[in-house]
Structure 1
Amino acid sequence: MAELKVEAEPAEVGFDPQRLARIDEHFARYVDDGRLAGWTVAVARRDRVVHVSHHGLADVEAGRPVGDDTLWRIYSMTKPITSVAVLMLHERGLLALTDPVAQYLPAFADLRVYRSGSAANPGTAPAAEPMRVWHLLTHTAGLTYGFHHAHPVDEMYRSRGFEFGVPAGMDLATACDTWARIPLVHQPGAEWNYSVATDVLGRLVEVVSGKALDAFLAEEVLGPLDMTDTGFGAADPERLAALYVPKPGGGLHRNDRMGDAALREPTFLSGGGGLVSTAADYHRFCRMLLRGGELDGARLLGPRTLAYATRNHLPGDQDLASFGRPIFAESNFDGVGFGLGFSVVVDATAGKALTSDGEYAWGGLASTAFYVDPVEEITAMFFTQLMPSSTYPIRPQLRTLVTQALVD
């Protein structure tokens, strides 16, 4: 098991220790007043961990505290890992970002795009251009999520059993074939819409590499990074944090219906949301990103590939507020663009965010989050298990609390 421990005094890397302590003081109130069960937070600068803390309970009903070995459902924080896998295949010349998805997944040929009408009787038109690998990486493919509840195509997903998961027993290949038969929300490349695109990328990894997604990640990403506690399901019930949703009027309700999925071996390997991990493991992934694609002698990506992936790829350097649909996503929309698997801050002033332009990040449905600030050489992570992640402004608060503690 990877360890996450403090490696430097705050002042050694430019933090004021009293200001850094505000992180724990602030988020402790979330537990003390019943908004969260418990959490882990970790901050590093210049590749040295400067702050690690746990507070509260991983499982309220069992009275089990959050600890170093707590397992968390990271949901959409799986997406950057899958995106890195795709970029690794791209570096090997096995696929191009401009390749049509149908070149590898034939079901995505002859796509239709929603134009009008109801979910039961939609009017559609042919896709004006093929859906490409780049569209999947940037969430501009025209796919969607059933849980958005914002468009007739979202309803089509739900009617087929796709809301916060897939129909029981369905595998990744079948899910992708099914999505390909549902109309797109918009023409490929025309807008940004948060979607199952990264799940399709997971299937792309399988077809191109010839390995199941769990095997490819274990052998090519997680193994080389020594992320030994990260995987799809089959989590240790004595270490897995419980999943909660807020009760109306205050307090928490345990959601075992969704939460218990992490205890089982999944039929559906979700590259968009299926991994369980620890703070220590995910910190190793963040370190690899900050170091330009390498960690402890294992190089996953070249530094120029990672720099390319973490710049804004939206047309005209637009932000999500101007190019995206006003829907749920794991990011603020103002002043934030999107790269190849990561949100990217393009204008911190527009986003009213106390961070650096060029910061890249993502989060998960159960309020987990990470960000990398390459200007200040900071990585920060927050882990808890409250869904949806839009319940509280944890992410901007984390950025503010970390940045205000910098004094060099």
Structure 2
Amino acid sequence: MIPELSAAYVCLHVGFKLALPDGRWPLSAAALKSMVCLVPMACGIVLCLASVAVAAAPRAVAGSAAADSTAATDASRFSPERLRRVDDFLGKATGAQGYLGAVSLVVADGKVVQSGAYGYRDLARSSPMREDSIFRIYSMTKTVTTVAVLMLMEEGKLSLDAPVSRYLPEFSDLQLFEGGTAERPRLAKVKGTLTLHHLLTHTAGFAVAGNEEATKLLERADLHGSSDLTEFARRLSQLPLAVEPGTRFNYDGTQLEVLARVVEVASGQPFDTFLQQRILAPLEMQDTGFSVPVSKRDRIVDITVMGSDGKLALDQGPSALQPGAMLNPYPSGAGGLYSTAPDFMRLCQMLLEGGSHEGVTLLGRKTVEQMRANHLTFLDPPVTQFSDAEGFGLGGSVLLDPARKGRLGTVGQFGWSGAASTYFSIDPTERMVSILLLQHLPNGASNDLPRISTPFYNLVYQALVR
């Protein structure tokens, strides 16, 4: 394993922060070289303006591991005073009656404009949150899996409009659940062709949250008890679809597990090996993987649920009771990754920059544009599970109407979230990435904690003044 990341800041104090919270640089080597040439002049400026810098320096935030969390220059598009509202909000949200803790990271124009570690990473509230704390990012894994699929498409090893059966022959003779019961189903042959594009856009027609009796068949198959992705795909292929492919958007992880198996077949590598060698290592995502080394497990954040007594309790699922272990018997392309805010920022920066970051190119610019486009225009209504303010791209949602969404943002904004309250957003127009990581499984009960992604994004966007 690559050695554990340093938590120290590496900054050029010319009024703005250049380094990510883990010490790595969001700028390219060429950009850094050009910046180095300016250091002597910058030092003189800093000496001359020392009194101004001290007066304007952002204050430390109680409960935050990042004292300099709102650094910005006068020329910045962000107001430092307004950015402090993000700190104040997250500090309160992780107070004694709130979430255990949170990590935020906002990068605009390649510079960190806001970051912070708030609260604690353990239920006992004895270990302060760190900016390199490790989170179960669950469904944010889907974006990484999508990148893997698109890389293989660019290499000519996959075609998105190709039948899934071209790569997984067990999907050749799919059936459709037309009625009856799980014990005595009435089945018919599927008329359409299930494609990789259907899997990527969650329009495959699998029975998740569909017909109740068809869903019973899915549950009995115990897909998540599969020993590997090969077994997962085999079990799923024997089950009937709930609807014809391409006729309904139905978000679920099943489709991404099939895509993970397709990656294995097309690449000739185990899925986790492909991700490590082709995505995680090139992007230097050193704290991201399907398991966490023992030496790093003290950085894993406890995952909580709201108890019936109105107090936070440790979740009793395997991922909470065995922190750092694989979340499934197989490397789950739908939700199996652990990661940190600085690590995931590197993936997001790659997507923001059109497929390349720090001299590493994973995707072409046009492919990234396809990821961020709404792919549900062929459905009527286009989205049946979320809201008509959003569409779905490849690996995440696409904001179509900020007003209808009810939060500040930009048309074309791309992002996704994870089940345990982890969020990311990529805004190409504002050249900005926003990440918020918590570890809480909401249950929808009246006594549960309020979700804070919308106020977080609102506070980030209200700080934009230029």
Normalising by structure 1, report the TM-score. 0.90
Amino acid at match of 1:349: A
Q: How far does the alpha carbon of each residue in 1:126-162 deviate from its partner, in whole angstroms, 9 at most, with x for none?
A: 22212101011111111254xx587433333323334
Higher relative contact order structure (alpha carbons within 8 Å, sequence separation ≥ 6): 1
Question: Identity percentage over the alignment?
Answer: 35
Q: Distance in 2 between matches of 1:172 and 1:333?
A: 32
CA-atom RMSD, angstroms? 2.2
User: 2:348 maps to which residue?
Assistant: 286
Uncovered stretches (5+) of structure 1, i.e. residues with no partner:
327-331
User: 1:194 maps to which residue?
Assistant: 251
Give the counterpart of 1:397 among 455, 459, 462: 455
User: 2:283 maps to which residue?
Assistant: 225
2:328 is the alignment partner of 1:271: no
Give the counterpart of 1:174 among 231, 240, 243: 231
Structure 1 residues 230 and 150: CA distance shift in structure 2, 3 A: farther
Give the counterpart of 2:418 among 321, 344, 364: 364
User: 1:323 maps to which residue?
Assistant: 382
Q: How far off is 1:242 after superposition?
A: 1.0
Q: Distance in 2 between matches of 1:13 and 1:276?
A: 33
Uncovered stretches (5+) of structure 2, i.e. residues with no partner:
10-16, 19-70
Q: How far does the alpha carbon of each residue in 1:50-84 deviate from its partner, in whole angstroms, 9 at most, with x for none?
A: 11101111112372221023110000000000000
**How do 1:101-250 and structure 2 match up within 5 A?**
101-143=164-206, 145=208, 148=209, 151-162=212-223, 166-167=224-225, 170-195=227-252, 196-235=254-293, 236-250=296-310
Give the counterpart of 1:85 among 131, 143, 148: 148
Instruction: Answer yes or no: is the 8 Å Cα contact 2:211–2:242 preserved in 1.
Output: no
Q: Distance in 2 between matches of 1:11 and 1:122?
A: 67
Give the counterpart of 2:92 among 17, 29, 37: 29
Structure 1 residues 57 and 119: CA distance shift in structure 2, 3 A: farther
Q: What is the aligned length?
A: 394
Residue 380 of structure 1 aligns to a residue in which SS? strand
Amino acid at match of 1:17: P
2:371 is the alignment partner of 1:309: yes
Please say which structure displays the higher CA radius of gyration. Answer: 2
2:311 is the alignment partner of 1:251: yes
**How do 1:57-72 and structure 2 match up within 5 A?**
57-61=120-124, 63-72=126-135
Normalising by structure 2, report the TM-score. 0.80
Name whichever of 22-31 and 223-232 sits farther off: 22-31
Give the counterpart of 2:392 among 332, 335, 338: 338
Q: Distance in 1 between matches of 2:332 and 2:410?
A: 31
Structure 1 residues 85 and 55: CA distance shift in structure 2, 3 A: same
Instruction: Answer yes or no: is the 8 Å Cα contact 2:72–2:79 preserved in 1.
Output: no
Instruction: Answer yes or no: is the 8 Å Cα contact 1:242–1:256 preserved in 2.
Output: no
